[in-house]
Chains A and B, each alone.
Chain A
Amino acid sequence: MNQTTGVITSLSQQEFQAQHRRSRMRHTMRRGGIYLLAIGLAVWILLPIVLIGSMAFSTPADVRAFPKQIIPDPISGETMNFFLNTEGILRATGNSIVVAVLALLISTVLAVPAGYAIARYLFRGRDLIRLGILSVRAFPIVVLAVPLAVVFIQLGMFDQVYSLALMHAALTLPTTILVVASVFTSVPYELEEAALVFGCTRLQAFWRIVLPLSIPGIAASAILTFVLSWNEVFAAILLTITNRTLPAQILYTLDKSGDPFKFAGGFFMLVPSLIFIFFIRRYLFSMWGQLNK
């Protein structure tokens, strides 16, 4: 009797160990699978960027060569240089930066008080305003650009850098308001109350307590505005003729330009996004998570 039970126990123990080993192996394999998947997806995103980057830093002769090399040899700034020195590009880059900075300033300056009001006060129609803001967020640029171009012509604001900035600010304002509101909501109200108790006015409490704590979040949404404005091409090409922004200028001359110009331009346009997304990656979810509510 005793012997049989012993055999059974040792058997089941062996079986147990085998099972344990199997499950651990399955676990490791699954981990490995997830890593493989993660790396595969990363390659899918990164490979095209590497390819266009390698084109941008090859000599124009290599850009036109066939078959192409993936790693530029020799590395040369000639293509990039050619692109930047093409007539109109530097000016368009300058316009792009001015438009994006203006749009960023307008939308941030308007969004901070609006966001604070939505975050801190309960007022009638608050939900209606939230809904309205969201519906504007979904408003197609294409739909707005044509009539706005005509209105701007009537008002004598057509082909001006600042009117395009106004348009971009209006387009990004809704998102900015919601993001800024969520940033303010995350600052504990107790801190503000404490400041009020110690004799601060509301404005001082906002200026000294809430704002410093919310600066990173506000900066993140401002950067997003900058990137959106930098990238926006449809309204830009409709609303400007002589003061084109960079994407509008490149799009306008696209069918008349050669591959080196195109590739260098493509790479030049996507560089800011590489940098800016790095800085705001932490805030992405609080930004877009807002849309779920």
Chain B
Amino acid sequence: MLFFAYPMVESLQLALRREGQFLNLRVEPVEDAAVAGTVAMQTELSVLERQRLEETLPNGRTRPIYWFEVETVDAAGETIRGWVSQSNVFIESRTESTSARVVSGEASQEWTLDFIRRMFNDFRFSSALGTTILLIVLIIPLQFVLAIIMALVLQSQIRGSNLFLYIYAIPLGISDLASGIVWYSIFTQRGFINSFLVSAGLRDTPFIFIQADNHGWMITAIVLAEVWRATSIVMVIVVSGLQAIPRDYIEAGEVFGANLWQRLWHIILPLLKPSLQVALILRTILAFQVFAVVIAITGGNIVTVLANETYRWYDPARFNSPNVAAVYAGFIMLLSLGISLFYLRAVRSQEEAAKAL
């Protein structure tokens, strides 16, 4: 548990705190004298007085060090006065200049909403959020229909159902990156669909599915890749849910003349609800993490998703800002949590409504 809790605290810190620097003005020209006031970096100071002191170096030698009495206006708008050492300011001439600028000080941490603002203001944020939600809305219903069909086929006790089970379960072990590459090979300009279209004489030149103004086709390719890869897990959950339904119920339906559709709608699906709920939550959480598929098929620049943005902001070779990446991660976390709670709520309230009736 600690393994998960500690990074979460760290994540909050990354998202909400910023490392800053400030400089303390001292009442006397001594390093650990009382603080007279605090100024931010790059503040302009006017020098009132200067004092030349000796500083002892580690090797025993001494060198001159200047302290300046300065006056400036602090963040609150008040005029403050105090001593600063030459090591913390930029000054053209130690003996002549009458103005200086603060360049270093002590490390501090402050709470900030800047990183959150940066995420929301990023021009790719809304497109990433939109695409992620669009993908979820398109992929999940398709997956559930396909998974229920697969499960019913497996449960109908046909010969070779063991072989079919194995085949349907293969994608469980396929990574999203591999699946992305597989579907890239199908949809790319010189890919299999175009090979088919051109060989069959349906088109003279290959159709370019994956390009900037073909948003629809890129989304289609991603949806197919995800449905292909991630339906198996829903299938397995649905099958184990089906196995728990007593056969008597379904047979009773048959005896009373319910056809396949009626049996499915009125008997099987209601009893399958808990399994479907689990699968739905799991799939939605995983859908927020869609990442490598998008990069493999589209390159991740034109079509982007939240997880991809997280990586882009983190990547030392690009934005190199773990802070904004942590904000993205937290945002994904909140969305997943919110949707899970919503599912749990929605299903429960339906049951309660049914009970009340």
Query: Taking beta carbons and an 8 Å cutoff, which residues of A are in contact with B?
Result: 31, 34-35, 37-38, 41-42, 44-46, 48-49, 51-52, 55, 64-68, 70, 132, 136, 138-151, 166, 170, 227, 230-234, 237-238, 241, 247, 250-251, 254-255, 259, 262-263, 265-267, 269-270, 272-274, 276-278, 281, 284-285, 287-289, 291-292
Contacts from B to A (Cβ < 8 Å): 1, 3-4, 6-8, 10-11, 14, 146, 149-150, 153, 156, 158, 160-162, 164-178, 181-186, 188, 190-192, 194-196, 198-199, 206, 228, 233, 236-237, 239-241, 243-244, 274-275, 278, 281-282, 285, 288-289, 291-292, 295-296, 299, 306-307, 310-311, 314, 316, 322, 325-326, 328-330, 332-333, 336, 340
A-B contact pairs, 25 of them (CB 8 A): A35-B158, A45-B171, A48-B186, A51-B182, A51-B185, A55-B185, A136-B4, A140-B336, A142-B332, A143-B332, A146-B14, A147-B11, A151-B6, A170-B3, A233-B291, A262-B296, A265-B181, A269-B174, A270-B182, A273-B170, A277-B172, A281-B162, A281-B169, A288-B240, A292-B274
- Going nearest first, the 4 A-B pairs with the smallest beta carbon separation are A273-B173, A266-B181, A231-B175, A289-B240
CA distance in complex: A281, B183 (Å): 25
The interface residues of chain A lying within 8 Å CB-to-CB of B191 are: 68
Known interface pairs A45-B170, A143-B332. Does A233 touch B240 (Cβ–Cβ under 8 Å)? no
Which A-chain residue is minimally distant from B189 (CB atoms)? Answer: A66
- A contact residues around B330 at 8 Å (CB): 143
Residue of A nearest to B150 (CB): A41
Q: Which of B14, B291, B332 has the most chain A CB atoms inside 10 A of its CB?
A: B291
B240 contacts A41, CB within 8 Å? no
Interface of A is mostly: helix
Closest to B260 in A: A30
Given contacts A49-B182, A234-B311, A247-B178, could you give 10 more A-B pairs where the C-beta distance is less than 8 Å? A38-B153, A45-B167, A138-B281, A140-B329, A147-B10, A150-B10, A231-B177, A263-B185, A270-B175, A277-B166
Partner of B192, one of A68, A281, A292: A68
Residue pair B322, A237 in contact (C-beta under 8 Å): no
CB nearest to B324 among chain A residues:
A146
Is A143's CB under 8 angstroms from B274's CB?
A: no
B184 cross-chain contacts in A, Cβ below 8 A: 262
Q: If the complex has contacts A45-B168, A274-B170, A292-B278, are A147 and B158 also in contact, measured as CB distance less than 8 A?
A: no
What is the CA–CA distance of A278 and B162 in the complex, to the nearest angstrom?
11
User: In the assembled complex, which residues on chain A have CB atoms less than 8 Å from the CB atom of B167?
Assistant: 42, 45-46
Q: Is the CB of B240 within 8 A of A276?
A: no
